[in-house]
Amino acid sequence: MKDEAIAGLDIGSTKTCAVVAVPRNGIFEIIGIGEAPSDGLQRGLITNLEAVVRSIELAIEAAERMAGVSIAQVYLGLSGDHMQTRNTQASVAISNDQHEIREQDVVRVLDASHRTDDEHERRTLHALPRSFTVDGFAGVLDPLGMEAKRLEVDAHIISGATPMITNLLKCVSRAGLEPVGIVFEPLASAAATLDRDTMEAGVLLLDIGGSTTDIALYSRSRVLHTGVIPIGSSFLTRDLSVGLRTSFAESERLKRVFDYEGDDERMINVSMLAGQRDGQINHGQLRAIIVPRLHELFRMVRNDLAKLADRDLQIDEIVLTGGGANLLGIERAVSDFFGLSARVGLPAMIEGLTDEMKQPQYATAVGLLVYGPSGTARPTRPRRQSFLRKFTTWISELWN
Ligand SMILES: Nc1ncnc2c1ncn2[C@@H]1O[C@H](COP(=O)(O)OP(=O)(O)OP(=O)(O)O)[C@@H](O)[C@H]1O
Ligand SMILES: [Mg+2]
């Protein structure tokens, strides 16, 4: 059993989290979690390599202690400013004798959809089919087995900057781990929290982290769009610290006391920075600082979605993950702004989760173990094979 343990490793801007699982009866079951503070990574950029390595080691050690196994392999989450996402089209001719669309044709057309990428600068992590067009007939979800002369794909391409990926992989191997797959983090957060019906109906997932907010949009069980917004919940803390002249730690405490639906007359004790007297503020003063920054984040999300051409798009609800989803009343803040129902998403889509693990800030790490084994861009293998896996997984996961 020892060798089979595998971890989801989420290196965030505030914490590094490792969730460990073992295969049981053909499915992965979670048996432990470990967490360590992280301060060597900001918006996906490594600011201190040693600090990243250390926080990986600490998180992995903690997970190993809890699970009683040793971890050799990890699925690694990736996000940050350097990620780029775009929608592209490509087409291929179906040339076999029967003119029947086979798996290799789907792989070819997906390959063609991102062929222009220069691998020295950017690496494609995921090429996800949004829909196929078969001999001119659009809107096909699964073209396998159909007879046709031409197969076209409308694909969502997710790539990261090669140097950033290389350096993060270096941190992982320096920590003595073998990365077996990389997953763009919003896909992992979604995989942990959203069930099939939710993805089918149309859902916007927002993972509000410390320094970034990850976006994933699903409709009819397909990924329509993903993105990264360079604002996270630490911005709220920093704003409070500047606005109220309190330490970062005290501002963090105040942020956790704030409730979007709370009473603005309520008085709150505040310890000021050295040299000033401690005092009291009212809840409304927290609101005056926190809500404008939240709205700035929401506006950036809305602008990002405005790029989507699909005007008929239906979204049923907004699901919030990441530590920032713990802000009291955040569901109401989100639904007030977007006019849609909103809820906090807790990790659910895998066996073995304890109550302690069912928190929105663990969605990414847990989701790496849901999404990872079923298909990822592999750092060590040629991408052709990985997309074959990726695609077959989507078909079997979503439509069988
Ligand atoms: N109870 C809470 N109330 C408000 N905010 C909270 C609460 N708990 C955690 N947070 C905030 O969540 C943020 C951290 O979220 P998370 O752990 O998802 O970030 P991360 O994954 O380390 O960062 P990133 O994804 O940006 O790299 C911090 O800014 C923290 O203040
Ligand atoms: Mg995160």
Closest by Cα among 206, 204, 174, 219 to 79: 206
Contacts of 274 (CB under 8 A, 6+ apart): none
Model-level pTM greater than 0.85? yes
Ligand number, closest to the Cα atom of 55 = 1
Per-residue model confidence (pLDDT) at position 307: 79
All structural domains of the chain with their residue ranges: 84-160, 234-289
Q: What is the mean pLDDT of residues 322-336?
A: 98
Q: What is the mean pLDDT of residues 303-314?
A: 79
Q: What's at 4, amino acid-wise? A: E
Ligand number, closest to the Cα atom of 323 = 1
On whether the CB atoms of residues 75 and 56 are closer than 8 A, the answer is no
CATH number of 234-289: 3.90.640.10
The token pair at 249 is: 């730690």
Per-residue model confidence (pLDDT) at position 375: 60
Residues in the chain: 400
Q: What's at 393, amino acid-wise? A: T
Q: Is the pLDDT of residue 4 over 70?
A: yes
Residue 128's DSSP bridge partners are 156
Confidence of residue 387 (pLDDT cuts 50, 70, 90): very low
pLDDT > 90: what percent of the chain? 77
Ligand 1 pocket (Cβ < 6 Å) reads 12-15, 209-212, 232-234, 237, 252, 255-256, 322-324, 326-327, 361
Closest ligand 1 atom to 233 CA:
29
Q: How far apart are CA 363 and CA 372, in angstroms?
A: 13
Q: Is the pLDDT of residue 357 over 60?
A: yes
Closest ligand 1 atom to 80 CA:
27
Neighbours of ion ligand 2 (CB under 5 A): 12, 209
Contacts of 212 (CB under 8 A, 6+ apart): 13, 43, 44, 79, 80, 81, 228, 229, 230, 231, 232
Q: How far apart are CA 181 and CA 8, in angstroms?
A: 10
Q: Is the dihedral of CA 131, 134, 140, 143 positive or negative?
A: negative
User: Residue 236 C-alpha to ligand 2 middle, in angstroms?
Assistant: 16
Confidence of residue 290 (pLDDT cuts 50, 70, 90): very high
Closest by Cα among 326, 285, 260, 273 to 14: 326
Closest by Cα among 104, 127, 22 to 68: 22
* CATH 3.30.1490.110 applies to domain 84-160: yes
On whether the CB atoms of residues 91 and 113 are closer than 8 A, the answer is no
Q: What is the mean pLDDT of residues 48-65?
A: 97
Q: How far apart are CA 303 and CA 338, in angstroms?
A: 12
Per-residue model confidence (pLDDT) at position 115: 76
pLDDT tens profile 191-246: 999 999 999 999 999 999 999 999 999 998 899 999 999 999 999 999 999 999 99
Confidence of residue 34 (pLDDT cuts 50, 70, 90): very high
Q: How far apart are CA 163 and CA 167, in angstroms?
A: 6
Instruction: Please indicate whether residue 95 or residue 342 has the higher confidence score (pLDDT).
Output: 342
**Ligand 1 pocket mutation pick from 237, 261, 326 by most atoms within 8 angstroms of CB:** 326
pLDDT tens profile 243-287: 999 999 999 999 999 999 999 999 999 987 766 777 899 999 999
Q: What is the mean pLDDT of residues 291-298?
A: 98
User: Residue 14 C-alpha to ligand 1 middle, in angstroms?
Assistant: 7
**Ligand 1 pocket mutation pick from 164, 233, 238, 247 by most atoms within 8 angstroms of CB:** 233
On whether the CB atoms of residues 77 and 114 are closer than 8 A, the answer is no
On whether the CB atoms of residues 322 and 363 are closer than 8 A, the answer is yes
